[in-house]
Amino acid sequence: MLQLRPAATNIAVNDLCLVCEDSQVLSLLGHNGAGKTTAINMLTGMLSTTEGDSYIYGLSVKNDMDKVRDIMGICPQHDILWNDLTAREHMQIFCDLRQIPYEQVDDVIRERLEDVQLFDVQNNAVGTFSGGMKRRLSVALSFVGNPKIVYLDEPTTGMVFTAVEGSFLKIKMKYRHNQDPYIRRDIWNLILRLKKNRVIVMTTHVSNKMYSVFFFFLKILFSLWRKPTSWETRSL
């Protein structure tokens, strides 16, 4: 549980209890402001919990965070990249942070950039990338070092999903500046390939049946400040 302030009445995440097996994808579904990123921040040690603890492969987030970080990868909600550096230079920095042996660095960079279809532009400055390309690079960086658990906070952007009251969920695709409308499908396929022998925890505010056919989907009820609409709470 995380309480925003000692005297606050609003609780950002309350009674969150879940288990995820190896080689599975756990998805936290909720609208913007539901507490998904807060939950991720608690699980990654960015925020201290008011109560409770979580265990990752037997390691306590509260007491063993240094060891947890050794087996953890994170793709934050917003890309943390340097526009003047190339994609390859980003990968080299993360390989150094992960203490990848020098003789393996080139193979790791090739594998991860090929996973996200960025190998051909590895020497281009990230500042020239589209929003979708930057998102793919952030996802690739989170898998450097073969972490046992990977947190992907809103890894897919580029499509806008809208619901029409009183009808089936309708999907509207829009082009936005510096966004790739196909990045969502590419990242879903990547997650499918890379989930073996690890746990992937991701967040999304998209509720759509087409995603449930390929990953284990679990709805988590967070403390909500408003009543959810029918399409947000509908059963998959």
Query: Once rounded to an integer, what is the mean pLDDT over residues 114-127?
Result: 92
Question: pLDDT digits over 68-89, tens only?
Answer: 999 999 998 888 899 999 999 9
- The confidence score (pLDDT) of residue 234 equals 39
Q: Calculate what percentage of the chain has a pLDDT beyond 90.
A: 33
Confidence (pLDDT) at 86:
96
The pLDDT of residue 117: 87
- Domain positions in the chain: 2-233
Q: What is the mean pLDDT of residues 189-194?
A: 82
Which of the four CATH numbers 3.30.460.20, 3.40.50.880, 3.40.50.300, 3.10.150.10 does domain 2-233 have?
A: 3.40.50.300
DSSP conformation class of 14: -
pLDDT above 90 (res 2): no
> Rounded to whole angstroms, how far apart are CA atoms 43 and 74?
11
Q: Could you tell me the maximum CA-CA distance found in the chain, to the nearest angstrom? A: 59
| Cα→Cα distances 138→87, 126, 141, 164, Å | 10, 11, 5, 32
- What SS3 class is residue 210? helix
Amino acid at 180: D
The arithmetic mean of pLDDT across residues 128-147, rounded, is: 90
φ, ψ dihedrals at 75, nearest 5°: -115, 105
Model confidence at 148: pLDDT above 90: yes
Q: Are 187 and 139 in contact (CB under 8 A)?
A: yes
Full-model pTM = 0.74
Higher model confidence: residue 179 or residue 29? 29
